[in-house]
Amino acid sequence: MNQVKTALTIAGTDPSGGAGIQADLKTFQEREVYGMSVITSVVAQNTTGVEAIEHLPIDFIEKQLHSIFSDIYPDALKSGMIATIEMMELLADTLKDKRIPFVIDPVMVAKSGDTLMEEKSRRVIRESLVPLATVVTPNIPETEILVDFKVESYESMKKAAKVIVHELGSKAVVIKGGHLNGAATDVLYDGKEFFDFTAERTNTKHTHGTGCTFSAAITAELAKGKTMEEAVGISKQFITDAIQYSLELGKGNGPTNHWGYRLKGVPSYEKGE
Ligand SMILES: Nc1ncnc2c1ncn2[C@@H]1O[C@H](COP(=O)(O)OP(=O)(O)O)[C@@H](O)[C@H]1O
Ligand SMILES: Cc1ncc(COP(=O)(O)OP(=O)(O)O)c(N)n1
């Protein structure tokens, strides 16, 4: 019997390979699920920033979604760069009756400071997509836009997590602490319990694509049937290793290393410890 699990990413591109669709597909491959992609926007970007963006016509995004769902139905999916209100509405309409894990990485602004989601769409994502999510994975600035208050501490991360689940309607949320100081602590809230995932902060500027890689790993693990707590735990180790062994490529912020975990030998989660 064919046991392979499949995952779909719906996102924008990064021709330099560190973020977006390219990072998602590399992560799916490393996490041993069959990866598929629907492209929303083609982005001319590299390790130094974004040069130009072309959004694909909405009917063409719809055709790509149809190609996937009419043929290889994914076991889980994630969305990344969904820049316009039209794209959000299309996605909400397509996914409303799909009973598979849906991970939303609410990509708004790249680390380079370039805008990846139209300003007016930022609030719309709360009503159109977040209620459909199995888990949302905002970084600190994205969390602040979703909840409308400042998030500067562990306590305010927990307060924001409650708002995202109980008021915005996502089943769970992982608020990523990469933008705060000190240890890199992410907070998972599933509507009942909080779980902390903490790693030592790696002192590097080569963190291009961390959020995409982390959310793609969570998607892959959910596709394999892991619980949310297991999926986030495995993905936290995966992204920590990818940052620790990140690549000094390009002239700006180099990409994370998707095979970083292999450089450490067999990680404990692979040994079933
Ligand atoms: N320098 C770092 N060292 C270790 N982990 C980090 C570092 N920067 C970010 N992370 C982790 O990487 C993941 C992605 O977080 P973040 O960089 O905040 O996302 P985004 O790319 O969306 O801004 C989180 O698990 C976060 O804790
Ligand atoms: C097409 C595309 N999608 C998302 C991002 C943002 O990626 P992220 O993982 O948040 O990392 P940074 O690029 O912000 O370092 C992107 N750049 N491009």
CB-based contacts of 163, cutoff 8 Å, min separation 6: 146, 147
Rounded-to-integer distance, Cα 170 and Cα 184, Å:
23
Are the C-beta atoms of 228 and 222 separated by less than 8 Å? yes
Ligand nearest to C-alpha 253: 2
Is residue 94 included in any domain, yes or no? yes
pLDDT at residue 2, rounded to an integer? 67
Task: Give the type of residue at 100.
Answer: I
pLDDT at residue 112, rounded to an integer? 87
Pocket of ligand 2 (CB under 6 A): 11-14, 19-20, 43, 45, 80-81, 107, 110-111, 116, 207-212
Rounded-to-integer distance, Cα 7 and Cα 119, Å:
29
Q: Which atom of ligand 2 is nearest to the CA of 13?
A: 1
Structural domain span for residue 55? 6-271
pLDDT at residue 268, rounded to an integer? 52
CA of 40 to the centre of ligand 1 (A): 24
Rounded-to-integer distance, Cα 111 and Cα 251, Å:
14
pLDDT at residue 267, rounded to an integer? 54
Q: Whose CA is nearest to atom 4 of ligand 2?
A: 20
pLDDT at residue 263, rounded to an integer? 84
Is residue 83 included in any domain, yes or no? yes
Output the pTM of the full model: 0.96
Is residue 97 included in any domain, yes or no? yes
- Number of separate domains in the chain: 1
CA of 212 to the centre of ligand 2 (A): 6
Are the C-beta atoms of 194 and 220 separated by less than 8 Å? no
pLDDT at residue 9, rounded to an integer? 98
Task: Give the type of residue at 248.
Answer: E
Give the residue numbers annotated as catalytic, written as ranges: 176, 207, 209-212
82 φ, ψ to 5°?
-120, 95
- Most ligand 1 atoms within 8 A of CB, residue of 24, 214, 244 to mutate: 214
Q: Whose CA is nearest to atom 8 of ligand 2?
A: 209
Is residue 1 included in any domain, yes or no? no
Is residue 49 included in any domain, yes or no? yes
Closest-CA residue to 154 (of 198, 103, 96): 198
3-class DSSP assignment, residue 61: helix
Rounded-to-integer distance, Cα 264 and Cα 82, Å:
35
ipTM over 0.85: yes
Is residue 98 included in any domain, yes or no? yes
At 174, which helix (H) or strand (E)? Answer: strand 173-175
CA of 3 to the centre of ligand 1 (A): 32
Six token digits for residue 226: 């892991």
pLDDT at residue 269, rounded to an integer? 52
Is residue 236 included in any domain, yes or no? yes
pLDDT at residue 270, rounded to an integer? 57
Q: Whose CA is nearest to atom 6 of ligand 2?
A: 110
pLDDT at residue 111, rounded to an integer? 86
25 φ, ψ to 5°?
-65, -40
Q: What b/e readout covers 105-126, taking b as 16+ CB neighbours within 10 angstroms?
A: bbbbebbeeeebbeeebbebbb
pLDDT in tens, the chain (273 residues): 568 999 999 999 999 999 999 999 999 999 999 999 999 999 999 999 999 999 999 999 999 999 999 999 999 999 999 999 999 999 999 999 999 999 999 999 988 888 999 888 988 899 999 999 999 999 999 999 999 999 999 999 999 999 999 999 999 999 999 999 999 999 999 999 999 999 999 999 999 999 999 999 999 999 999 999 999 999 999 999 999 999 999 999 999 998 888 887 655 555 454
Is residue 126 included in any domain, yes or no? yes
58: domain CATH number is: 3.40.1190.20
Find out whether the beta carbon of 83 lies less than 6 Å from any atom of ligand 1: no
Where are the alpha helices (H) located in the chain, listed in sequence order?
20-30, 58-69, 85-95, 121-128, 140-147, 154-162, 210-223, 228-244, 268-271
